[in-house]
Structure 1
Amino acid sequence: MSQPTVAVLRPDDSRIIEAVEYLQSLGVSPIPDPMLAIMPTGQIPQHADYCIFTSETGVDLVAKAGWQQRDTTVCAVGDQTATALRDRGYSVDVVPSTFTSTGLVDELSADVKGQTVELARSAHGSGVLVEGLKAAGAVVSETHLYRLERPQTAGQSVSLAVDGELDGILFTSPKTVSHFVEIAIERDAVTTLQRGLEKTIVGAIGAPTERAVNKHGMAVNVMPDTVDFTQLAEVTVRRIRVTQQ
C-alpha cells in the first residue's frame, strides 16, 4: 500500500520544515503548501500593566526587537506561546486553562479594572479580547506585530483536493482556511473542491479553525484536544489509516 498523502499548510518558515519532517516520521507523504507568509510590521509593544501574547511568531518578533518585560504581567494564550516566552527569558504570569481568547478574558476580568493592557499579536486577531477586556474595565491598546499574507506559490493542495487526491489535510488557523478557499474561488472550483474533500480526512486545530472550515461548506473530521501541531498530525493520520483498512 502506498503512503497516504497529507497536505500541510503551515507558515512559510521553520514550521513547514518541521511539519514535513514530522509527517514523514509518521509514515505519510507530506504535501507542503504554505498558506501564510509572515510580514513583520516592525512595531513593538508599549509598556503596560499587562501584555498579552497569542502566538510563537509574535514572541519571536518582540524578542528579536529587544522588548523588555520590566514589571509587566505577561499573559500567553496557549502552552506553546508560554513556552516560547520562557525560552526567551520572559516570565509568564497568566496562561488560561482554556487556550482561547474567551478563556483569557475570563481569567483576567476580575483583575484588570483600571489597568493598562497591551495586545501584542497579528493584524488579524478577533475582537473578542479587546471587547471583553474593555467590558471588564481595562484600558486596552493593540500592537500589530505582523501581517499574514498568502504566498504566491500557494495552491498545490487545492489542485490535489479538487481532484480528490488527498488522503488528509491539516488546517492550523482560520487564515489558512480562508487563503485555501480564496484560491479555489479564484479558480472557480469551490463546488468541485467541496466534492473532492468528501473522502479526505480534514484535521483542524481549535474551534475557530473548525468554524472557518464549516463556514465554507467543508466538514472537519478530527480536532485534537490541544492546539498542538504534532497531535493534529497524529490524530489525522490515525483516522486515515482506520478509513483505509
Structure 2
Amino acid sequence: MSKPTVAVLRPDDNRIDEAVEYLRSRGVSPVADPMLSVRPTGAMPAAADYYVFTSRTGVQIAVDQDWQPGRATVCAVGQQTASALRDSGVAVDVVPSTFTSAGLVDELATEISGATVEIARSAHGSKVLIHGLESASADVHETQLYRLGRPETAGRSVSLAIDGQLDGILFTSPRTVDHFFEIATEQADVTGLKRGLEEAVIGAIGAPTARAIRANGLEVDITPEAVDFEQLADLTIQEVRNGASTR
C-alpha cells in the first residue's frame, strides 16, 4: 500500500520543517506548501497591567525585542503560546481552559475593571478579544507585532487538490485557508478544487479555522479538542487510513 499524501500549510519557518518531519515519522508522504510568511512590524508591546499573547510567533517577536513583563500579569491563549513564554523565561499567570479569545475574556472578566490590558499579536486578530475585555471595563490596547503574508512559492497543494491527488490536508489557521482559496480563485478553478477534495480528509486546527473552511464551501472532517498540530495530524492520518481501508 502506498503512503497517504497529506498537505501541510504551516508558515515558512521552522514550523513547516517540524511538520514535515512529524508527518514522515507517521508514515505519510508530506506535501509542504507554506501558506504564510511572518513579517514583523517592528512594534513593541506597550506597558500594561496585563499582557495577552495569542501565538508562539508573537511571543518570539516580543522576546527578540527584549520585551519584559515586569510585575504585570501574563496571559496566553493556548498551550503552545504558554510554552513559548515559559521557554523564554517568562512566567505565565493565566491560560484559559478554553483555548480561545472568548475563553480568556471569561477568565479575566471579573478582575480587569480599570486595568490596562495590552494585546500583543498579529495584524489579523479578530475583535472578539478587544470587545470582550472592553465590556469588562478594561483599558485595552492592541500592538500589531507582525503581519502574515502569502509566500510567492505557495500553491503546490492547490494544484494537487484540483487533480485529486491529496488524501488529506492540514489547515492550521484561518489565514492559511484564505490564501489557499485565493490561489484557487486566481487559477479560476474553485469548482475543480472542491471536486478534487471530495475524497480527501480535511483537518482544521481549531474552531476559527474550521469556520473559515466552511465559509469557503468545504466540509471539515477533523477538528482536534486541543489546538495542537500533532493531534491534528494524528487524527487526520487515522481518518485517511480508515477511509482507505473501507474503499
SS at 1:142's partner residue?
Answer: strand
* One-letter amino acid of the counterpart of residue 195, structure 2: R
Partner residue in 2 for 1:212: 212
Q: Write the deviation string for residues 75-120 of structure 1: whole angstroms up to 9, x where unpaired.
A: 0000110011011011101000000000000001111110000000
Partner residue in 2 for 1:161: 161
Partner residue in 1 for 2:88: 88
Partner residue in 1 for 2:101: 101
Partner residue in 1 for 2:117: 117
TM-score using structure 1 length: 0.99
* One-letter amino acid of the counterpart of residue 139, structure 1: D
Q: Write the deviation string for residues 16-37 of structure 1: whole angstroms up to 9, x where unpaired.
A: 0000000000001000000000
Structure 1 segments unaligned to the other structure (5+ residues): none
Measured after TM superposition, the shift of residue 240 of structure 1 is 0.5
Matches within 5 A, 1:8-157: 8-157=8-157
Q: 1: CA distance between counterparts of 2:79 and 2:5?
A: 29
Measured after TM superposition, the shift of residue 241 of structure 1 is 0.5
* One-letter amino acid of the counterpart of residue 166, structure 1: L
Structure 2 segments unaligned to the other structure (5+ residues): none
Displacement over 2 Å in runs of 4+: none
* One-letter amino acid of the counterpart of residue 195, structure 1: R
SS at 1:198's partner residue?
Answer: coil
Q: 1: CA distance between counterparts of 2:223 and 2:140?
A: 32
Partner residue in 2 for 1:236: 236
Q: How many residues align?
A: 245
TM-score using structure 2 length: 0.99
Q: Write the deviation string for residues 122-149 of structure 1: whole angstroms up to 9, x where unpaired.
A: 0000000000000110000000000000
SS at 2:198's partner residue?
Answer: helix
Q: 2: CA distance between counterparts of 1:97 and 1:170?
A: 24
- Percent of matched pairs sharing the same residue: 63
Partner residue in 1 for 2:227: 227
Measured after TM superposition, the shift of residue 47 of structure 1 is 0.8
Q: 2: CA distance between counterparts of 1:95 and 1:47?
A: 20
